[in-house]
Structure 1
Amino acid sequence: MLFKFKSRATADLIMLEPNGRQLLEIIGKTPDPHGIVTAAQIPAAIAALEAAVAADEANAGAPAEEAEGADGEQQPPRDTVRLRQRAAPFIDMLRRSAAEDHDVVW
């Protein structure tokens, strides 16, 4: 499934389901197939996303896990795309929508 975020202030933003779900959960929205972030809710959503990005970056400095697990089995590679990169287009959409007092729907 894809999430297609729309606003009259910006072009559409399409995200894969896991990434869109993560961002919606961060801002306190249920990742249903359809939803809305009203213009009044946008400042709180931006603040929540920025706090999550800051927390993610603080955790990025933690020591990396061993390449092999305790049982000697190879572990899957860590995600090299950080939350900051995934959230940046959505945060931009929210900022532009707030500036023009438009809602964001999906």
Structure 2
Amino acid sequence: MIVTFQSPASGDVIMFGDVAQRMMKLMGKDVTDKGIVTVEQLPEAIARLKAAIEEDKQQRAGLQEEDLPRTEPDRSGGAQSSRPFVTLTQRAVPLLELLEWSLKKKKPVVWGV
């Protein structure tokens, strides 16, 4: 499953379903097929994502590249497989930028439409 976060304020952010669900939870949203982060909810969603990014960075502080996992479970599809490891920060930053642009231009962010 693929989820696309959209806003008239910026380009789309496309994620695997399992990753998008994690981002929804981090933003304080229910995990749903369709949803919205209203303009009024954007500041809290931004703050929550920034806190998660900071926590991720702190957890990896002092680790060398070779200390990071090479793969992670792929929970997006049917068969259990693995995909290259991507940090939470790498996954969250494009969505954070979409939220920030949306707040700046006072536009909501939606998915599943």
TM category (shorter chain) comes to 0.7 to 0.9
Q: For each residue in 1:11-52, what CA deviation from the matched residue of structure 2 results, as whole angstroms up to 9, or x when unmatched?
A: 222110111111100011112100000011111111100101
Higher strand share: 2
* Higher Cα radius of gyration: 1
Map of 2:26 onto structure 1: 26
Runs (5+) with no aligned partner, structure 2: 73-84
Which amino acid counterpart does residue 31 of structure 2 have in structure 1?
P
TM-score (norm 2): 0.76
Runs (5+) with no aligned partner, structure 1: 65-75
Map of 1:55 onto structure 2: 55
Identity value in percent: 36
Shift of 1:10: 1.1
User: Does residue 1:91 correspond to 2:92, yes or no?
Assistant: no
User: Does residue 1:105 correspond to 2:110, yes or no?
Assistant: yes
Question: RMSD over aligned Cα, in angstroms?
Answer: 2.1
Show structure 1 runs of 4+ deviating over 6 A.
none
Aligned residues: 96
Equivalent in 63, 86, 89 of residue 81 of structure 1: 86
TM-score (norm 1): 0.80
**Worse-superposed segment, 54-63 or 86-95:** 54-63
